């Protein structure tokens, strides 16, 4: 069967939408800049990556698979004129903190150094937020994205980037899936380390796109290892997860209901996930599920999952795959973890962008979740 004209147009347009405008940032944006305006915000990010480190003394990483995780501490400054949801990339060879995101401090960490850095009480906050990026990201893009999210959402807690070795290429979808699989055990180990000495409201894990698939695989691994002590302390949020619907069902059959319902942000018009479905020749992706479908609602409740349709949020990108970026800046309480946003029920809901409320698809109750 020949692909329809609309699918052909989608395949042609998507690389442009995913790649963005201009040349994507290279490692030169990671050079340390010392002079910083007084009104520039500063965000400290700890990074755990399964990418290969280019030099043992530098935080420069490629798309190769490391034989053991690499660790780093980086401080990213946000320019005074920053616009929510945006990353102001450097326009020259050297970042300018007055007009662009810039790294103002960094160090290479050992495994023990990282563990000590995130120890409860050591950083001044017991809360941690782990961000797992999606397909087609390089290290610096994922670093600056987490810094932007942390700043715009006024994130409570210490941001930790888990960066797996994405090829950072539109044509690298299959290779990225393999790299994400390679990183599964390392992410599970990070989750186990993160919950040590912390309560069940202290650790948020946020996975986007293929990173959502990686997060769920790590959760499945923890359940198979009998690490209920870890799973019970995690607040998991998936944005536009690139997961086959049937695969997700089998994953959740192993994971079971978590103490805090897993929150899944979906939108039916996500063009990137439409292409993913086509490439994989599979069923619907979880990130495009229809919350108005009674079967979807029943499955969500049965598996202890909170589905939220965020289609009303105006997309920043033409692929309609990064709505979560706008959501965390405009409505940070929705992505702060289920215990903090008051959303503790499994089921399917619609986000009303105009009223900034959640409601059942079948009962509109302003500001209140219907029974």
pLDDT at 342 over 50: no
Domain-located, residue 179:
yes
How far, CA to CA in Å, does 197 sit from each of 38, 47, 101, 118, 179?
A: 35, 20, 33, 11, 30
Which domain CATH number covers 64? 3.40.50.1820
Q: Are 103 and 33 in contact (CB under 8 A)?
A: yes
pLDDT at 84 over 50: yes
Instruction: Quote the tokens at residue 340.
Output: 């903090």
235: tokens are 């607040």
pLDDT tens, residue by residue, 294-325: 899 888 988 989 998 888 887 777 777 788 88
Identify whether 371 is part of a domain.
no
Which one, of 299, 69, 331, lies nearest residue 184 by Cα? 69
DSSP 48-106: EEEEEESSTTS--EEEEEEEEEEEEEEEEEE-TTPPTT-----SSSS--TTTS-EEEEE
Q: Is the Cβ–Cβ distance between 165 and 65 less than 8 Å?
A: yes
Q: How would residue 277 be classed by pLDDT, with cut points 50, 70 and 90? A: confident
DSSP assignment of 177-204: HHHHHHTHHHHHHHHHHHTTT--TTSEE
DSSP secondary structure string for all residues of 278-314:
HHHT-S-BGGG--TT-HHHHHHHHHTTEEEEE-TTSP
Q: DSSP state, 171?
A: G
In a domain, 96, yes or no: yes
| pLDDT classification of 357: cutoffs 50, 70, 90 | low
Q: Is 60 exceeded by the pLDDT of residue 2?
A: no
Contact (CB, 8 A) for 203 and 235: yes
0.75 exceeded by pTM: yes
Edge-first strand order for the sheet with 128-132 is 102-109, 61-78, 41-53, 158-163, 128-132, 203-208, 234-239, 262-266, 305-309, 347-352, 357-359
Pair type for strands 305-309 and 347-352: parallel
CB 130 within 8 A of CB 203: yes
Per-residue pLDDT reduced to its tens digit, 162-178: 999 999 998 899 999 99
Q: Is 364 part of a structural domain of the chain?
A: no
Let me know if residue 43 belongs to a domain. Answer: yes
Token readout for 137 is: 């990201």
In a domain, 101, yes or no: yes
Q: Whole domain around residue 121: which residue ranges?
A: 5-359
Average pLDDT over residues 53-61: 95
The confidence band for 353, taking pLDDT boundaries of 50, 70 and 90, is low
Residue 275 has pLDDT above 90, yes or no: no
Distance of CA 286 to the CA centre of its chain: 15
* Mean pLDDT value of segment 234-241: 94
Average pLDDT over residues 141-170: 93
Is 19 or 354 the better-scoring residue by pLDDT?
354
Report the mean per-residue pLDDT for the chain: 84
pLDDT digits (tens, 9 = 90+) for 243-264: 999 999 999 999 999 998 999 9
Instruction: Give pLDDT tens digits for 35-45.
Output: 999 999 999 99
**Per the structure block, which two tokens stand in for 345?**
């029920």
Most confident of 98-107, 277-286, 320-329: 98-107
User: Residue 369: inside a domain, yes or no?
Assistant: no
**Predicted pLDDT of residue 156:** 76
367 is a domain residue: no
- Give how many domains the chain has, as a whole number: 1
By 3-state DSSP, what share of the chain in percent is helix, strand and coil, each rounded to 5?
Answer: 35, 25, 40
DSSP string, 225-267: TT-HHHHTTEEEEEES---BHHHHHHHHHHH---SSPEEEEE-
Provide, rounded to the nearest whole percent, the portion of the chain with pLDDT above 70.
82
| In contact, 122 and 116? CB cutoff 8 Å | yes
């Amino acid at each position: 069967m020949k692909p329809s004209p609309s699918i052909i147009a989608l395949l042609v347009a998507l690389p442009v939408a995913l790649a963005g405008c201009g040349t994507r940032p290279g490692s030169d944006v990671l050079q340390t800049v010392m002079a910083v305006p007084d009104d520039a915000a500063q965000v400290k990010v700890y990074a755990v990556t399964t990418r290969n480190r280019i030099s043992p003394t530098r935080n420069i990483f490629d798309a190769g698979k490391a034989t053991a995780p690499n660790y780093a501490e980086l401080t990213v400054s946000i320019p005074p004129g920053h616009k929510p949801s945006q990353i102001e990339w450097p326009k020259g060879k050297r970042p300018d903190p007055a007009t662009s995101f810039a790294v103002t401090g960094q160090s290479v960490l050992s495994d023990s150094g990282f563990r000590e850095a995130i120890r409860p009480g050591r950083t001044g906050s017991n809360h941690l937020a782990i961000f797992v990026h999606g397909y087609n990201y390089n290290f610096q893009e994922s670093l600056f994205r987490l810094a932007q999210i942390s700043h715009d959402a006024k994130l409570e807690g210490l941001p930790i980037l888990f960066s797996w070795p994405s090829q950072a290429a539109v044509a690298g979808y299959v290779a990225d899936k393999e790299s994400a699989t390679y990183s599964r055990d390392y992410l599970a180990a990070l989750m186990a380390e993160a919950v040590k000495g912390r309560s069940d409201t202290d650790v948020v894990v946020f996975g986007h796109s293929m990173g959502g698939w990686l997060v769920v695989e790590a959760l499945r691994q923890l359940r198979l290892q009998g690490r209920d002590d870890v799973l019970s302390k995690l607040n998991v949020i998936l944005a536009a997860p690139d997961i086959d619907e049937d695969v997700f069902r089998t994953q959740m059959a192993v994971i079971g209901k978590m103490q805090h319902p897993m929150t899944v942000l979906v939108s039916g018009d996500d063009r990137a996930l439409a292409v993913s479905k086509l490439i994989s020749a599979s069923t619907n992706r979880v990130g495009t599920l229809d919350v108005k479908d009674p079967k979807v609602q029943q499955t969500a409740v049965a598996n202890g999952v909170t589905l939220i349709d965020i289609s009303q949020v105006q997309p920043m990108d033409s692929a309609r795959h990064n709505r979560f970026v706008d959501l965390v800046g405009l409505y940070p309480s929705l992505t702060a973890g289920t215990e903090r946003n008051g959303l503790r029920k499994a089921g399917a809901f619609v986000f009303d962008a105009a009223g900034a409320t959640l409601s059942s698809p079948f009962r509109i109750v302003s500001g209140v979740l219907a029974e």
